Structure formats: structure tokens, C-alpha cells
Structure 1
């Protein structure tokens, strides 16, 4: 079984299905509501586990009720939470998410600004515990701690750059960096994504990619920006689609899939996630994804 270590933020999401995204300070009635774990690393870990990997999560939570709910859900998905640290006196990250009928979402999130950021408790032998390592930019200190371990061990690593990093040098630490379209445009100042990706990759020694929502993804290979189209699905909830994509990419790279195949694998997982309301509740199991890819 492929072993993956994911490091970063995990949250508890309160997800509301609305007829339209709120635009005025008045009361709105939700047609459906659910509670689900979320957060970049928490979601990526869940995506990896459902796709058949053995996953260990490194994260920080408060000593509150949301923390207990998050742990229970992660453990139910088979994720090892031994390295999810409880920080006494602090509050766990939570989000309120509004989803419209087209699946687009608005997120209002809270993270304790005083949550300890130190990483001296993270093991230094992760390269012996994993076939790939995932990190993200919301807990940048963790990314700087775990990604070099992947490089030393000679295993793939994925950085989810969903926003422009506060310390841009982190981009060079991962073997594969998946930007959001907003983060890549902010980083390069270039609107056209393949041009922006090629610009960012001019002096890069690693592989750069960018997700483009319903248009799929772009990735650099042999000095060229290549396009992997999205799969056409009836989207009802895009919450967590990017996290699913990064988790699936990590699994595929850990398994040694060629880059083009890995991106297609990630596109398929993200597409299936969008067909189910409830954030990570829509993340596919391996059998469902493989059947979907065979039929596409």
C-alpha cells in the first residue's frame, strides 16, 4: 500500500446549500446543510486515503469540540492522526461555506491567529515513512520542515500553492508544485495561464502545474505548457475540488504514474468530487475513480 504523509491545516466546515450566493446583509434560508471536515491538508489526506493510500496527517488543532469531530472523521477514513497535535487553550479552524446551485462556493473561515506555528515536534524521518509527501502554504513552517525530507529521501513531494506563498522560496522545495489560477497570476502578473506557467518555470528545476477549474489543468513537461482537459460532469459542489486534485496527484506520483497520467487521474478525482454536495463527502473511492476514467 502506498504511504503518504500530509502536513498542513485541517478545518471543520459548516456547509449551506443556497439558491444564490449572498450579496446583501439580510437573512437567507438554506435548502440543505451538512457538517464536514475540510482544510487543504485534511482534505488532501482524505482524498489520498479514499484512493487507497495509507496516510499520516501532521496538523494542529485546539482542545475543543470541533477538534474532536475532525479527528473522528479522519480516523473513520483510516487516517493516522498520531501527529495531529492538540494545542491547549487554542481554537480549531472552522469555516462557514455557502454553495449555490451551480456548485460555486463562498467561504468564511476562522483560524486562531495565536496557534503555535513551531515544528520542532515533527519527526525528522518522514522520508522513511512515506512514498510521497504533501504540504501546503497555510502552515508554511510545516512545508519548510517536511518538503526537504522528501528531497533527501528521493521521493515525490507535492506543494499545494493555493495562494501566493508568504515565503516564495518554498516553491523550490517540492518536486511538484500545483498552483491555483489566482496564486499563479498573483505570482507572475500574467493573466494567460499557460504563459504564466511557462514564465514561472523558466528557471525552475521542479515540475510546475496549475489548476483551471472546469477547464482542467496545465502542467510543464519538456519545456512546454501542456493542457489536460477537465471531465464534463454536472457539478453541485466545488468545495474541496482543488484539495482532492492535489491529493490524487500525490497518490499518482507516489505510485510512479507518468506525469500526464497523474494529472488525468487528479482531474478525474476532482470532477467526481464536484458531483456530490458536502465538501469532502464527494471524494471518490479508488474503484469509482478507475471506473470513471475507463469510461471517459
Structure 2
């Protein structure tokens, strides 16, 4: 089984669905609600497991009931949680999330408190065929990317602002969101901004932009894959699913264009289901979708 080491955030998401976002200091009633695990890295790890890979998650949590909820759900999904750091007296991260009728979301996140700042435990994770990190904890991400270099495997950064440029310089692959790219190269269209960033970093780079598709570097050229057109119910976690699927595809030996298409299909299928990562598809669903869409 192909193994991917994923480092970053794992949280609990309290997801509320409504016709439109609140606009005043008043009471509102949700149309539906879910309590699900979330977090950039945790969502990616679940995506990898559902797609047939083995994901090991390196994350920081507290010793509170929320951590039990987070880790219990991840273990149930088949994610390896043997390398999670639980801080005595620490408080785990959680988010309150609103989803409107168009499937767009607003997120209010508490990052947690009292969590470890040490990184030595990360090096104890088992060797993987790829490493994926988010940008929420720079020191931890840097340590995981150092493992990727030592193993000579892809080291992928999920680029959400704020982004420490040192992480992009340490990665073999940088996959940014459109806001993440704009935080580094503002005021340009996606293709132009990506070209400007690519000139500043040593590795391969791409930018995902939701319904506008994905742009990536291919030598001195910028390529583009349009997004798959689907009926969107919930975009929450779609980017995380994309990054997990992309990392798994690279770990399996797929080339970047093929990995982008595979990841884009997985993210599109996720958008068709409400409830954050609960809509993350399995391998069979993705392959069927790709076959049907041509």
C-alpha cells in the first residue's frame, strides 16, 4: 500500500447549513447540521485513506474530549494516528462553519492552545512515498519536508496564507490556493502570478482556483486544466481532498498532469455532498467519474 505522511491541523468542525450567511447580531436557525472531523491535514489524510492509500497523520492536539473525538474518527477512517502529539493541559482546535445555499462557506477557527512546539517526534514517523504539509505550523512542516528530502520522495506544500517562503523553497511541489498565491503575488491573474512565483522557488508549482480550474508550471510554460462541472452542494474540504489525492497520485508515481486530473475529480465529487470531509470519495467513485467524463 502506498504511504503518505501528512503533517498539519486536525480539528472538529461544527457545520451549519442555511439559505444565506448571517448579516446581523441576531439569532439564526440552521436548516441542517453536522459535527465532523476537519482540518487541512486531517481532511487530506482521510481522502488518501478512502482513495486506497495509507496515510500517517502527524498533528498536534490537546488532552481534552475534542482530541478524543478527532482521533477516534480518524482511526475509524483507517488513518494511522500513532504519531500524533497530545499535549498535557493543551486545548485542541475546532471550527464553527456556515454553509449557504450555493455551497460556499464561512469558517471561524480556534487554533488551539498549549500545544507542543517541539519537532523531534516528527522524525520518528515511518518512511513514506510522499510527504504533504500544510502551512499552519511552519516548524513542524519544515521538519516533515526535511524527512521528504532525506527519503528522496515528493515533499508537497498545501499553500494557504500565511505562507513562510522557506517552506516553498524546501518543497519539491507547491500547490497553492488562489488566495494563497495572491498573498505572495498580489494583483495579477492566476497564470501570471504563478509564473512570477515559479521564478522565485526551485520546485514545481500549481494553483487551484475552484470552479476556474488548476494552473501549473511545465518547464517555462504555464498549463491549465478546467474544473469539472458538477452540482455543488458544499465546497468545505474540497481543497484538502484535492491535496490529499494529488499527494497520493504523486506517491504512486503518476506525473503531475495526471495527478492534477485525478485530484480535481476527487474534489469535484466531494463538492456534490454536504458535510465537509464526509463527502470525500473512494477510489472506485473517482475512477468511474473520470471514465464517464472522458
Q: Residue 175 of structure 1: CA displacement?
A: 1.0
Q: Using the alignment, how far apart are the partners of 1:7 and 1:169 within structure 2?
A: 16
Q: Using the alignment, how far apart are the partners of 1:288 and 1:268 within structure 2?
A: 9
Q: Residue 190 of structure 1: CA displacement?
A: 3.1
Q: Residue 191 of structure 1: CA displacement?
A: 2.6
Describe how 1:150-169 pairs up with structure 2 within 5 A.
150-165=148-163, 167-169=164-166
Q: Please report the TM-score for the alignment, with normalisation by the length of structure 1.
A: 0.96
Q: Using the alignment, how far apart are the partners of 1:179 and 1:243 within structure 2?
A: 11
Q: Does the residue aligned with 2:27 lie in a helix, a strand or coil?
A: coil
Question: Which 4+ stretches in 1 moved above 4 angstroms?
Answer: none
Q: Residue 112 of structure 1: CA displacement?
A: 2.2
Task: Encode CA deviations 1:202-224: one digit per residue, 9 max, x unaligned.
Answer: 14321111110111111111211
1:39 is matched with 39
Alpha-carbon distance change, 168 to 113 in structure 1, aligned in 2, over 3 angstroms:
farther
Q: Does the residue aligned with 2:59 lie in a helix, a strand or coil?
A: strand
Q: Using the alignment, how far apart are the partners of 1:120 and 1:150 within structure 2?
A: 15
Q: Which runs of 5+ in 1 are unaligned?
A: none
Q: 1:234 aligned to 2:238?
A: no
Instruction: Choose from 204, 207, 221 the match for 2:201.
Output: 204
Q: Does the residue aligned with 1:220 lie in a helix, a strand or coil?
A: strand
Q: 1:144 aligned to 2:152?
A: no
Describe how 1:118-137 pairs up with structure 2 within 5 A.
118-123=118-123, 126=126, 129-137=127-135
Q: Which runs of 5+ in 2 are unaligned?
A: none
Q: Does the residue aligned with 1:5 lie in a helix, a strand or coil?
A: strand
Q: Using the alignment, how far apart are the partners of 2:151 and 2:220 within structure 1?
A: 26
Q: Residue 24 of structure 1: CA displacement?
A: 1.2
Number of equivalenced pairs: 293
1:5 is matched with 5
Q: Residue 125 of structure 1: CA displacement?
A: 6.4
2:97 is matched with 97
1:72 is matched with 72
Q: Using the alignment, how far apart are the partners of 2:200 and 2:185 within structure 1?
A: 13
Instruction: Choose from 259, 280, 288 the match for 2:285.
Output: 288
Q: Residue 73 of structure 1: CA displacement?
A: 0.7
Q: Residue 113 of structure 1: CA displacement?
A: 4.0
Task: Encode CA deviations 1:156-197: one digit per residue, 9 max, x unaligned.
Answer: 1211011131x3111111111111111111101233010000
1:54 is matched with 54
Q: 1:266 aligned to 2:266?
A: no
Superposed CA RMSD in Å reads 1.1
Q: Does the residue aligned with 1:121 lie in a helix, a strand or coil?
A: helix
Q: Using the alignment, how far apart are the partners of 1:121 and 1:244 within structure 2?
A: 26
Q: Does the residue aligned with 2:216 lie in a helix, a strand or coil?
A: strand
Instruction: Choose from 169, 173, 184 the match for 1:172.
Output: 169
